Amino acid sequence: MPAASPVTRGVIHSRGYATAPGGGSNTLLYLLGAAAVAGGGYWYYSAGSASNVGKEAGTAAKSVAQAVKAATKFTPTKDDYQKVYNAIADILEDNDYDDGSYGPVLVRLAWHSSGTYDKNDGSGGSNYATMRFPSEATHGANAGLDVARAKIETVKEKFPWISYGDLWTLGGVAAIQEMQGPKIPWRPGRIDGYAKDATPDGRLPDASKVADHLRTIFYRMGFDDHAIVALSGAHALGRCHRNRSGFDGPWTFSPTTFTNDFFTLLMNDKWTWRKWDGPRQLQDKTKTLMMLPSDFALVQDKEFKKWVKVYAADQDKFFADFSLYFSELLELGVPRAQFVSSEPWIMKSTEEQSS
């Protein structure tokens, strides 16, 4: 499919809204949530779980009652969402998982639950948390995210009033900020939808593809070349897993700290194609780090490369741009009227609260 025309200012700021702009409230949010629950959109799916059909039928009434109670008797404040943030921060560190943190996989969950948006028809995005359903959870690009969903479910159990869409995106915000990254403006307002709202496979970036594919994927969401490079900087975090994507290894030497290292390494190190029995990927001279074909495309394409150079030289600029674009990514597909605040909030890190 040919790439769409790029937008001119990073993103179209109204692109993520399915309805006309207007005022929003928490009461509206929970009334909408109750309606979604009544339609069977509430339940949580993870790969390998038993069929949820019976569970859906057996607990729908209880879930509706809880949602209605929330709508009529409980209106969460920013302080309540800060408590959710803090609970997420508390579960991030775990020496038995990967490099000692669930932070990177929670960023990936937030990214993938939002990056399905299509500006042409308004479908997809973070609003309905449709990765709860098998039809979307089993997409190849979402392999391994059952780990993230199961981990953050422990927070959902403590705060059952929060929607999955808000929980997953706030999880990404908390993870980035707690891993020394930039502040990410965020606000609640997403509701949990129906299985029918799940998006088709193929909307997320394919790591084996290069520049044309990246433009097709990101332009569909409303982003331009600048945003593509900025958002790719999330690869400073985490690693690939052979049993998930097929690729293997970390991008940087500090995979649990948010930095501009992805860009400095991509620009300055010598990268060669790895000789192995897995998919095509590159390795550095130490054979410790990896880059994906889609990463390497950022320095092969002259329009992408100019932003790689900027971010490799200036971490503050990268942080500022990533904050802008990631915040907008997390709001894709959410009608403006659903947001409980006219402007996004800045959540305090645990370090800020302790000091």
Name the residues annotated as catalytic. 112, 251
For residues 170-184, b (16+ Cβ closer than 10 Å) or e, as one string? bbbbbbbbbbebbbb
Instruction: Work out the angle at residue 168's Cα, subtended by the Cα atoms of residues 332 and 73, and round it to the nearest 5 degrees.
Output: 95
User: Hey, CA dihedral for 213, 317, 328, 234, is it positive or negative?
Assistant: positive
Backbone φ and ψ of 282, nearest 5°: -105, 160
Kindly report the backbone phi and psi dihedral angles of residue 215, in degrees, each rounded to the nearest multiple of 5, phi listed first.
-65, -40
What is the 3-class SS of 254-319, one letter each residue? CCCCCCCHHHHHHHHCCCEECCCCCCCCEECCCCCCEECHHHHHHHHCHHHHHHHHHHHHCHHHHH
CA distance 267 to 264: 5
